[in-house]
Each structure stands twice: as structure tokens, then as C-alpha cells.
């Protein structure tokens, strides 16, 4: 079962142009920001943190971005089993995912990220970037930027 979430980019949406700091194509950037903003309103009202994890497979040749469907489904199912009922797993493209963790402080987000990375690393090299509202930014763009920078600092080159 595919997780509810954002559209999958096609080759036309992701090809050419300058590299984006975001982990997905422009329509998904907008949708991810909107979803984060809505959850930030709830977190602010409840005076709770909101964790954002950006994870993905790194050890895959970028020219072969398609990942086998059966492997992807097994990987997504394994990741979903590790998440709480209120956590949201979003597939950004074949190799990249976002996870929104309501009420998760930095330590909790790190523990969940480690568990999710173990799943991803059973398929290929993987990395994660973590950002937590309100500590890492006041809005969705700041959280995404922070998580992207943190993931980029530990990302594995393609093989």
C-alpha cells in the first residue's frame, strides 16, 4: 500500500534547470511546505515540537533513479511499522522520503531516524537530515532547508 502524500515527479518535472535545495520537484515542494505549515499550527497551539526527517537512498546511480516497485513497497511497509499513528510518511520520489513526527523532540527524532535508516540501509547506502520545530526554524521553508543541509552533510555519493 502506497502512503498517502505527495505526487511522484516525472522526468519532465525533474530534468534540467539549476539544482534545488529541496528534496523534490516544485509541485511537491509546495505540497510538502503546506503540509508542514498545517502541522506547525497544530504544534504551536499544543506547545509541542514537530520533527521533520528527510531520508533517502544515496547509493543508487542517479541515472537509474527508478527503484523496483516490489522493493519499494517492502521498504515503505517496514518504515510505516516503525512510525506512530500520528506520524506521516511521504514519498517524495523513488528514493527520497519525508517523515513528519508530531510531538517529537530532537532526541526522539534521532532515534526514529536511526530505525528508519536501518531499513533503508538494507537496500542501499542511505542518509537522513533532521529538523525540529521550533528549535530549527519558524516555518516550513526553514525546517526543510535545515533538514536538507543536515542530510547533505552526511550524504553518500552514488556508486
Domain presence at residue 117: yes
Q: Quick one: pLDDT at residue 17?
A: 34
Percent of the chain with pLDDT over 90: 52
Q: Quick one: pLDDT at residue 61?
A: 66
Domain that holds residue 39: 23-154
3-state helix, strand, coil in the chain (%, to 5): 45, 15, 35
Domain presence at residue 9: no
Domain presence at residue 14: no
- Chain centroid to CA 109: how far? 12
Domain presence at residue 146: yes
Mean per-residue pLDDT, 100-108? 93
- Kindly report, residue by residue over 51-99, the tens digit of the pLDDT: 999 998 887 765 655 667 788 889 999 999 999 988 999 888 778 899 9
CATH number of the domain within which 46 lies: 3.30.70.270
Q: Quick one: pLDDT at residue 123?
A: 85
Category of 60 on φ-ψ map: left (φ > 0), alpha (ψ -120 to 50) or beta: beta
Lowest-confidence region among 43-47, 60-64, 71-75, 137-141: 60-64
Average of per-residue pLDDT values in the chain: 80
- Kindly report, residue by residue over 12-37, the tens digit of the pLDDT: 233 333 344 455 555 677 788 889 99
Is the model more confident about 151 or about 158?
151
Structural domains in the chain (count) = 1
Contacts of 110 (CB under 8 A, 6+ apart): 130
Q: Quick one: pLDDT at residue 134?
A: 95
Predicted model pTM:
0.80
Domain presence at residue 2: no
Q: How far is CA 92 from CA 6, 86, 104, 106, 138, in A?
A: 6, 19, 21, 22, 23
Q: Quick one: pLDDT at residue 66?
A: 63
Amino acid at each position: 500500500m502506497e502512503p498517502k502524500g505527495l505526487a511522484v515527479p516525472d522526468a519532465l518535472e525533474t530534468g534540467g534547470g539549476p539544482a534545488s535545495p529541496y528534496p523534490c520537484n516544485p509541485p511537491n515542494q509546495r505540497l510538502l511546505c503546506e503540509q508542514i505549515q498545517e502541522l506547525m499550527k497544530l504544534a504551536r497551539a499544543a506547545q509541542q515540537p514537530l520533527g521533520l526527517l528527510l531520508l533517502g537512498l544515496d547509493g543508487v546511480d542517479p541515472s537509474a533513479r527508478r527503484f523496483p516497485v516490489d522493493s519499494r513497497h517492502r521498504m515503505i511497509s517496514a518504515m510505516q511499522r516503525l512510525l506512530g499513528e500520528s506520524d506521516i510518511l511521504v514519498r517524495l520520489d523513488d528514493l527520497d522520503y519525508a517523515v513528519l513526527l508530531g510531538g517529537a523532540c530532537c532526541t526522539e527524532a534521532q532515534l526514529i531516524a536511526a530505525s528508519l535508516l536501518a531499513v533503508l540501509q538494507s537496500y542501499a547506502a542511505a542518509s537522513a537530515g533532521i529538523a525540529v520545530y521550533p528549535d530549527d526554524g519558524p516555518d516550513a521553508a526553514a525546517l526543510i532547508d535545515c533538514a536538507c543541509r543536515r542530510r547533505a552533510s552526511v550524504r553518500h555519493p552514488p556508486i
